[in-house]
Structure 1
Amino acid sequence: MRVNTSTTNSDTSQPASPPPPPPLSTTNQMRGRRALGIVIIIIAMCKDHHHHHHHQQQQQQQQQQQHKQYKQHWRHQLALECNKTQIAISAAFKFAATRKCYHYCSSTS
Protein backbone atom coordinates (compact mmCIF):
# COMPACT_ATOMS: atom_id res chain seq x y z
CA MET A 1 0.00 0.00 0.00
CA ARG A 2 1.26 3.43 -0.89
CA VAL A 3 0.76 6.53 1.23
CA ASN A 4 -0.94 8.20 -1.75
CA THR A 5 -3.89 5.79 -1.71
CA SER A 6 -4.66 6.37 1.96
CA THR A 7 -4.59 10.13 1.38
CA THR A 8 -7.02 9.95 -1.56
CA ASN A 9 -9.32 7.65 0.41
CA SER A 10 -9.64 10.13 3.26
CA ASP A 11 -10.26 12.89 0.70
CA THR A 12 -13.16 11.06 -0.98
CA SER A 13 -14.81 10.09 2.31
CA GLN A 14 -14.77 13.77 3.36
CA PRO A 15 -16.00 15.88 0.42
CA ALA A 16 -14.65 19.40 0.32
CA SER A 17 -17.30 21.64 1.84
CA PRO A 18 -17.66 25.17 0.45
CA PRO A 19 -15.94 27.79 2.59
CA PRO A 20 -18.25 29.43 5.13
CA PRO A 21 -19.57 32.82 3.98
CA PRO A 22 -17.82 35.85 5.47
CA PRO A 23 -19.60 37.16 8.58
CA LEU A 24 -20.34 40.49 6.87
CA SER A 25 -22.67 39.01 4.25
CA THR A 26 -24.55 37.09 6.96
CA THR A 27 -25.09 40.33 8.88
CA ASN A 28 -26.30 42.03 5.71
CA GLN A 29 -28.73 39.18 5.02
CA MET A 30 -30.14 39.42 8.52
CA ARG A 31 -30.48 43.18 8.20
CA GLY A 32 -32.13 42.75 4.83
CA ARG A 33 -34.64 40.30 6.30
CA ARG A 34 -35.37 42.72 9.12
CA ALA A 35 -35.91 45.51 6.62
CA LEU A 36 -38.24 43.28 4.62
CA GLY A 37 -40.21 42.55 7.80
CA ILE A 38 -40.59 46.27 8.44
CA VAL A 39 -41.90 46.80 4.91
CA ILE A 40 -44.46 44.03 5.33
CA ILE A 41 -45.64 45.56 8.61
CA ILE A 42 -45.94 48.99 6.99
CA ILE A 43 -47.99 47.64 4.09
CA ALA A 44 -50.17 45.64 6.47
CA MET A 45 -50.75 48.74 8.60
CA CYS A 46 -51.60 50.70 5.49
CA LYS A 47 -54.16 48.17 4.27
CA ASP A 48 -55.60 47.75 7.74
CA HIS A 49 -55.99 51.52 8.05
CA HIS A 50 -57.97 51.56 4.81
CA HIS A 51 -60.18 48.75 5.92
CA HIS A 52 -61.32 50.84 8.90
CA HIS A 53 -61.56 53.92 6.72
CA HIS A 54 -64.58 52.56 4.84
CA HIS A 55 -66.46 51.69 8.02
CA GLN A 56 -66.05 55.13 9.56
CA GLN A 57 -67.18 57.58 6.91
CA GLN A 58 -68.23 60.21 9.46
CA GLN A 59 -64.70 60.28 10.86
CA GLN A 60 -63.09 60.63 7.45
CA GLN A 61 -61.49 64.02 8.13
CA GLN A 62 -60.00 62.82 11.40
CA GLN A 63 -58.76 59.64 9.71
CA GLN A 64 -57.06 61.63 6.94
CA GLN A 65 -55.32 63.80 9.52
CA GLN A 66 -54.15 60.69 11.36
CA HIS A 67 -53.02 59.18 8.10
CA LYS A 68 -50.81 62.19 7.35
CA GLN A 69 -49.14 61.67 10.70
CA TYR A 70 -48.68 57.96 9.97
CA LYS A 71 -47.01 58.80 6.66
CA GLN A 72 -44.60 61.19 8.35
CA HIS A 73 -43.83 58.56 10.98
CA TRP A 74 -43.22 55.90 8.31
CA ARG A 75 -40.89 58.19 6.38
CA HIS A 76 -38.94 58.87 9.54
CA GLN A 77 -38.73 55.16 10.41
CA LEU A 78 -37.61 54.26 6.90
CA ALA A 79 -34.99 56.98 6.89
CA LEU A 80 -33.64 55.65 10.18
CA GLU A 81 -33.64 52.08 8.90
CA CYS A 82 -31.87 53.04 5.66
CA ASN A 83 -29.21 54.91 7.59
CA LYS A 84 -28.74 51.96 9.90
CA THR A 85 -28.58 49.24 7.27
CA GLN A 86 -26.90 51.19 4.46
CA ILE A 87 -27.67 48.39 1.99
CA ALA A 88 -28.56 49.77 -1.43
CA ILE A 89 -30.80 46.88 -2.49
CA SER A 90 -32.72 46.75 0.77
CA ALA A 91 -33.10 50.54 0.84
CA ALA A 92 -34.33 50.59 -2.75
CA PHE A 93 -36.81 47.81 -2.05
CA LYS A 94 -38.13 49.56 1.04
CA PHE A 95 -38.48 52.79 -0.90
CA ALA A 96 -40.42 51.07 -3.69
CA ALA A 97 -42.68 49.22 -1.26
CA THR A 98 -43.41 52.40 0.66
CA ARG A 99 -44.21 54.27 -2.52
CA LYS A 100 -46.66 51.50 -3.44
CA CYS A 101 -48.21 51.71 -0.02
CA TYR A 102 -48.64 55.49 -0.22
CA HIS A 103 -50.13 55.13 -3.69
CA TYR A 104 -52.53 52.44 -2.49
CA CYS A 105 -53.65 54.57 0.43
CA SER A 106 -54.08 57.81 -1.48
CA SER A 107 -55.87 56.19 -4.43
CA THR A 108 -58.45 54.42 -2.25
CA SER A 109 -59.30 57.38 0.00
Structure 2
Amino acid sequence: MGFLIRLLVSALAAMLTAYLLPGVHLKSFVTALILALVLAILNILVKPILIILTLPVTIFTLGLFLLVINAIIILLATKLVSGFTVDNFWWALLFSIVMSVIAGLMHSLAGGGNDN
Protein backbone atom coordinates (compact mmCIF):
# COMPACT_ATOMS: atom_id res chain seq x y z
CA MET A 1 0.00 0.00 0.00
CA GLY A 2 2.89 2.35 0.74
CA PHE A 3 4.23 1.89 -2.80
CA LEU A 4 0.90 2.92 -4.32
CA ILE A 5 0.74 6.04 -2.17
CA ARG A 6 4.30 6.97 -3.14
CA LEU A 7 3.41 6.36 -6.78
CA LEU A 8 0.39 8.67 -6.54
CA VAL A 9 2.42 11.34 -4.72
CA SER A 10 5.12 11.12 -7.39
CA ALA A 11 2.52 11.43 -10.15
CA LEU A 12 0.98 14.49 -8.50
CA ALA A 13 4.43 16.00 -7.97
CA ALA A 14 5.26 15.38 -11.64
CA MET A 15 2.03 17.08 -12.73
CA LEU A 16 2.69 20.10 -10.50
CA THR A 17 6.34 20.32 -11.57
CA ALA A 18 5.41 20.12 -15.26
CA TYR A 19 2.87 22.89 -14.67
CA LEU A 20 5.53 25.09 -13.04
CA LEU A 21 8.34 24.51 -15.55
CA PRO A 22 7.76 25.68 -19.14
CA GLY A 23 10.39 23.30 -20.55
CA VAL A 24 8.59 20.18 -19.31
CA HIS A 25 5.40 18.89 -20.90
CA LEU A 26 3.12 16.23 -19.46
CA LYS A 27 -0.01 15.21 -21.36
CA SER A 28 -2.35 13.94 -18.60
CA PHE A 29 -2.55 12.47 -15.12
CA VAL A 30 -2.49 8.95 -16.57
CA THR A 31 0.78 9.87 -18.28
CA ALA A 32 2.04 11.15 -14.92
CA LEU A 33 1.15 7.82 -13.30
CA ILE A 34 3.00 5.94 -16.04
CA LEU A 35 5.93 8.33 -15.64
CA ALA A 36 6.03 7.74 -11.88
CA LEU A 37 6.07 3.98 -12.45
CA VAL A 38 8.77 4.20 -15.13
CA LEU A 39 10.90 6.47 -12.92
CA ALA A 40 10.55 4.00 -10.04
CA ILE A 41 11.69 1.14 -12.27
CA LEU A 42 14.58 3.15 -13.72
CA ASN A 43 15.67 4.21 -10.23
CA ILE A 44 15.72 0.56 -9.16
CA LEU A 45 17.40 -0.93 -12.23
CA VAL A 46 19.46 1.70 -14.05
CA LYS A 47 20.46 4.25 -11.42
CA PRO A 48 22.65 1.89 -9.33
CA ILE A 49 24.56 0.87 -12.47
CA LEU A 50 25.14 4.51 -13.41
CA ILE A 51 26.27 5.32 -9.87
CA ILE A 52 28.80 2.48 -9.88
CA LEU A 53 30.12 3.41 -13.34
CA THR A 54 30.54 7.07 -12.37
CA LEU A 55 31.77 6.55 -8.82
CA PRO A 56 35.11 8.36 -9.27
CA VAL A 57 33.39 11.43 -10.74
CA THR A 58 30.74 11.33 -8.01
CA ILE A 59 33.38 11.21 -5.30
CA PHE A 60 35.42 13.99 -6.95
CA THR A 61 32.34 16.26 -7.14
CA LEU A 62 31.32 15.35 -3.58
CA GLY A 63 28.08 13.78 -4.77
CA LEU A 64 26.91 16.60 -7.01
CA PHE A 65 27.24 14.37 -10.07
CA LEU A 66 24.23 12.44 -8.73
CA LEU A 67 22.14 15.39 -9.96
CA VAL A 68 23.43 14.71 -13.46
CA ILE A 69 22.52 11.04 -13.09
CA ASN A 70 18.99 12.05 -12.04
CA ALA A 71 18.72 14.24 -15.15
CA ILE A 72 19.89 11.33 -17.32
CA ILE A 73 17.19 9.13 -15.76
CA ILE A 74 14.59 11.82 -16.57
CA LEU A 75 15.82 12.03 -20.17
CA LEU A 76 15.66 8.26 -20.45
CA ALA A 77 12.09 8.37 -19.15
CA THR A 78 11.18 10.83 -21.93
CA LYS A 79 12.18 8.15 -24.44
CA LEU A 80 10.05 5.51 -22.73
CA VAL A 81 6.88 7.47 -21.85
CA SER A 82 4.85 8.95 -24.67
CA GLY A 83 3.17 12.19 -23.68
CA PHE A 84 6.12 13.29 -21.51
CA THR A 85 8.72 15.58 -23.04
CA VAL A 86 11.58 17.64 -21.67
CA ASP A 87 13.12 20.30 -23.89
CA ASN A 88 16.78 19.75 -22.93
CA PHE A 89 19.21 18.51 -20.29
CA TRP A 90 18.92 21.64 -18.13
CA TRP A 91 15.13 21.34 -17.90
CA ALA A 92 15.58 17.67 -16.97
CA LEU A 93 18.02 18.67 -14.23
CA LEU A 94 15.66 21.33 -12.90
CA PHE A 95 12.68 18.95 -13.20
CA SER A 96 14.44 16.31 -11.11
CA ILE A 97 15.34 18.82 -8.39
CA VAL A 98 11.92 20.51 -8.23
CA MET A 99 10.02 17.22 -8.41
CA SER A 100 12.10 15.76 -5.58
CA VAL A 101 11.38 18.77 -3.37
CA ILE A 102 7.66 18.79 -4.17
CA ALA A 103 7.30 15.01 -3.72
CA GLY A 104 9.14 15.20 -0.40
CA LEU A 105 6.90 18.00 0.84
CA MET A 106 3.75 16.22 -0.32
CA HIS A 107 4.85 12.96 1.26
CA SER A 108 5.60 14.65 4.59
CA LEU A 109 2.27 16.50 4.50
CA ALA A 110 0.47 13.22 3.86
CA GLY A 111 2.00 11.84 7.05
CA GLY A 112 4.24 9.35 5.30
CA GLY A 113 7.43 10.29 7.08
CA ASN A 114 7.45 7.31 9.50
CA ASP A 115 6.67 4.35 7.23
CA ASN A 116 9.31 2.23 5.50
Would you say same fold, with TM above 0.5? no
Shorter chain as denominator, the TM-score bin is 0.3 to 0.5
The higher relative CO (CA closer than 8 Å, separation ≥ 6) is in 1
Higher share of residues assigned strand: 2
TM-score, normalised with respect to structure 2: 0.33
Higher share of residues assigned helix: 1
Q: Which has the larger radius of gyration?
A: 1
